[in-house]
Chain A
Amino acid sequence: MALLLSVLEQGMIYGILALGVYITYKILDFPDLTVDGSFPFGAALTVRLISDLGVPAILTLPIAFLGGALVGMCTGLIHVKLKVRDLLSGIIMMTGLYTVNLWGAGTGYVPIFNKESIFDNQVLNSIFPSFLTNFKNVIIIFVITMIAKYLLDWYMSTKSGFLLRAVGDNDTIVTSLGVDKGLVKIVGLSIANGLVSLSGCIYAQQQRCFEISIGTGAVVIGLASVIIGTSLFKKITFFRVTASVIIGSILYKACVALAMFAGIDANAIKLITAVLFLIILVISMDRKKVKSC
């Protein structure tokens, strides 16, 4: 039971990250490595806000989103205005953010065990029914993830969202419509990294600490979730693609948990992450080939 809850919690937290990766990877067709920096950026910002500045926990969510959006905007500006290649723009930002995150949090490991968080604060504790205490975290994460999902769904159905979809699809037409395609890309990267940073913010509060190493491989986890979600639920129109991506993330976390449960060394987790991603990638490519024949 504890294992299942932990899979659900982590799966949904990383689901928000996967929504961000979905925007860059699938919609913008932009391999954005900024994610490895913007995920711990959200976490670092959060522990700083909570432990040093005493900001109410609920406010860390929008602040982390905006902070991440700013980071994404920088990646976009480097790519669009300075004309640096997409992959390199992300690598530059990711590398730079490592230091920014260390400065922001103070050190590479910052615990926030005895502080208030979105999962543990006076207001919440007084209204939350006691028989649901075991499910408190999972319910809160579910609510936040759903809000993020529906907001993204809504944005994608607006005129601005249409442009975002168009720019990844065929950027010539965005120019034909009289719109600066560079600006649209910057907006897309901002929203994507905002979501990633929000995910880092929730992760830090769930783990009750900040750790500099959480960023390593974040983009791989996001990509794996997106690919599992989009290729597994391609035929099912019942789910919107955003829901498939979140479910993909939960399935991915379940796979990792199973591997750990089977007794694989905890130090091997990044290796498992990489190998699992490779397997998923190869399987999803095979499916494509069969179809095109």
Chain B
Amino acid sequence: MLELVHISKNYNPGSVNELCLFKDFNFKVNDGDFVSVVGSNGSGKTSMLNIICGSIDVDGGKILINGQDISRQKDFVRQRRIGRVYQDPSKGTCPAMTILENMSLAENKGKPYNLGRGVNKARIEGYREMLRPLNLGLEDKMGVQVGSLSGGQRQALALLMATMTPIDFLILDEHTAALDPKTAEIIMELTDRVVKEKGVTTIMVTHNLRYAVEYGNRLIMMHEGNVILDKAGEEKRTVNTEEIMGIFNRISVECGN
């Protein structure tokens, strides 16, 4: 279980640009949940993910995983149990390294990076088996540098790499936003399959309301650093895109955009 308790976060404290994003923010994710997070720009969605992953520090409050406070842990320590896929497809992979090398790197997560051989040749067939269901032809490109792949191919690989090792949380930060509609659809289906297969607790930030409604078992909407809508279980199943769109438009009009 992941809990954010009494989180407060100010940007540029003490200057004229001071911005209070979170003030006594509370949020809880149960094990096995697949939470979709929607909200306008600046509502705090990505900041929330960054706070969980340790990419930004909080000014106050606690981040609890199964009751243990991790808010003082360094980002790289926290991310040992977190898999993260970014909006930018180039962030989740190493462009100058081959698919094989990237997957070898990812598979070693959680184990020491010592002087053992970087690529385990015995695993190549296993990697191919993981790539084959993507239907992107990546299994025949093991020796190709990732930088020469398309955005969709890279994002599929990034998703696969983020979930190769046992993790407690999967964090998806608008991971389909930079892709064309068709590729986004493929990546979204792949995401759903991976999440169901591994049963991993997932938080997905998205601007696509349809994805938020279609996928996952819980939907939240954020606005100015607060959760203003939280639908789970049966409520979530019956919600439709128009309804969410309506609420979304109303709050957007309220703040003048």
How far does the alpha carbon of A176 sit from the alpha carbon of B90 in the complex, in Å?
13
Q: Contact at B116–A159, with CB atoms within 8 Å?
A: yes
Q: Contact at A180–B76, with CB atoms within 8 Å?
A: yes
Interface of A is mostly: helix
Contact partner of B105 (CB less than 8 A), chosen from A162, A175, A180, is: A162
Check if A31 is an interface residue, CB within 8 A of chain B: no
Q: Taking each of B76, B93, B114, which has the highest tally of chain A beta carbons within 10 Å of its own beta carbon?
A: B76
Q: Contact at B76–A172, with CB atoms within 8 Å?
A: no
A-side interface residues toward B, CB under 8 Å?
A: 155, 157-163, 165-166, 169-170, 172-181
Q: Contact at B97–A166, with CB atoms within 8 Å?
A: yes
Q: What would 29 A/B residue contacts be, using CB atoms closer than 8 Å?
A: A157-B117, A158-B114, A158-B115, A158-B116, A158-B117, A159-B108, A159-B113, A159-B114, A160-B113, A160-B114, A160-B115, A162-B97, A162-B118, A165-B94, A165-B101, A169-B94, A170-B94, A172-B91, A172-B92, A173-B91, A173-B94, A173-B105, A174-B76, A175-B75, A176-B83, A177-B79, A177-B108, A178-B79, A178-B109
Check if B201 is an interface residue, CB within 8 A of chain A: no
B-side interface residues toward A, CB under 8 Å?
A: 74-77, 79-80, 83-84, 86, 90-97, 101, 104-106, 108-110, 112-119, 162
Number of contacts between A and B (CB, 8 Å)? 81
How far does the alpha carbon of A170 sit from the alpha carbon of B90 in the complex, in Å?
8
Smallest CB separation, A215 vs chain B (Å): 31
Q: Contact at A165–B115, with CB atoms within 8 Å?
A: no
- With A162-B97, A165-B97, A169-B95 known as contacts, the answer to whether A177 contacts B109 (CB < 8 A) is yes
How far does the alpha carbon of A163 sit from the alpha carbon of B86 in the complex, in Å?
20
Q: Contact at A178–B80, with CB atoms within 8 Å?
A: yes
Q: Contact at A179–B91, with CB atoms within 8 Å?
A: no
**Chain B residue nearest in CB terms to A162:** B118
> Which chain A positions have C-beta within 8 A of B97?
162, 165-166, 169
